[in-house]
């Protein structure tokens, strides 16, 4: 039997809690899914799921075996991704960048990686946590991620600081102040990207704000564009790599530029032959650094 395929049936049924929804997720009909799970149960000699009118409920054995099944399914997907990467490695550079990287730096890095006419550059923009996982698994050759971050299983280059600004509502008192200070923002909520994207960097930013007299909770926004909209609406402030420009309802402040600068670095898998690609991106980051 195709063990991985049938384990994927089990994992999907467990996650959906319903055979019909699991079948839809797997793009198949319910009868072959149910039959496949039954064959898996017969193969291992124990029931994994109780079939009820309300849906699917894990047995004690199913609960115990689900984490291992997930690992096997995930590892098989990583194996296929790595095999595809190796088979197409010549002429293809797969790289990633944190979503906090400014557009101008993102595009400059992508252009720098296309060193030869026949080289194809594939770019992924995501959170630091997801990018480190992608590099570690081989789905990305290298990536620009935030610092600090948990970098287990990858190698990392030097840290570079990219300029950031505090953005506030244009009508806010800090935008009119001759010498604005962080405590002036105490009546606003901090619009920040989710902590799950990189807990270490998120917590570091919160510490920087507290050190400067601003101890407030963050309001989660999915991306910089949403943060700009939240600021323009008048109830939030943010920290952005977007340089000062004319945006209705938004003003840019230069506050503690060195402290709030975005710290980034290049990461890659140990043993990966990416030296020239790392060097190309490092040159771009060096040009963009805080002077």
Whole-model pTM?
Answer: 0.69
Q: Is 164-260 CATH 3.40.190.10?
A: yes
Domain 88-158+264-284, CATH number (from 3.50.50.60, 3.40.190.10, 3.30.1330.200, 1.50.10.10): 3.40.190.10
* CATH fold of 3-85: Arc Repressor Mutant, subunit A (1.10.10)
* pLDDT mean values, one per 10 residues, the chain (291 residues): 87 90 88 89 92 86 92 86 63 90 94 81 94 91 96 94 96 95 96 94 95 91 91 96 91 96 95 90 88 57
| Interatomic CA distance for residues 113 and 97, integer angstroms | 13
User: Hey, where are the domains in the chain?
Assistant: 3-85, 88-158+264-284, 164-260
The pLDDT tens digits of the residues spanning 227-273 come to: 999 999 999 999 999 889 889 999 999 999 999 999 999 999 998 88
Average pLDDT, the chain: 90
């Amino acid at each position: 039997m195709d063990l991985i395929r049938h384990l994927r049936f089990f994992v999907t049924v467990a996650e959906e809690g319903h055979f019909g929804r699991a079948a839809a997720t797997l793009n198949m009909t319910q009868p072959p899914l149910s039959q496949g799970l039954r064959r898996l149960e017969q193969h291992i000699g124990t029931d994994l799921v109780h079939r009820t009118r309300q849906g699917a409920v894990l047995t004690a054995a199913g609960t115990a075996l689900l984490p291992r099944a997930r690992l096997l399914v995930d590892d098989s997907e990583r194996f296929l991704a790595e095999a595809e990467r190796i088979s197409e490695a010549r002429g293809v550079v797969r790289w990633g960048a944190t979503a906090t990287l400014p557009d101008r730096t993102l595009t400059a890095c992508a252009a720098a990686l296309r060193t030869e006419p026949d080289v194809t550059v594939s770019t992924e923009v995501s959170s630091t946590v997801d990018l480190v996982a992608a590099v570690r698994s081989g789905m990305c050759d290298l990536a620009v991620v935030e610092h600090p971050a948990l970098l287990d299983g990858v190698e990392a280059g030097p840290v570079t600081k990219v300029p950031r600004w505090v953005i506030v509502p244009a009508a806010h008192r800090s935008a009119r102040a001759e010498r604005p200070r962080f405590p002036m923002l105490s009546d606003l909520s901090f619009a920040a990207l989710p902590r799950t994207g990189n807990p270490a960097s998120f917590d570091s930013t919160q510490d920087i704000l507290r050190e400067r007299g601003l101890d407030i909770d963050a309001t989660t926004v999915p991306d910089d564009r949403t943060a700009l909209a939240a600021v323009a609406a008048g109830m939030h402030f943010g920290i952005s790599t977007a340089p000062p420009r004319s945006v209705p309802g938004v003003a840019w402040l230069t506050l503690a530029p060195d402290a709030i600068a975005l710290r980034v670095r290049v990461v890659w898998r140990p043993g990966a032959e990416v030296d020239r690609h790392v060097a190309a991106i490092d040159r771009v980051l060096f040009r963009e650094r805080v002077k």
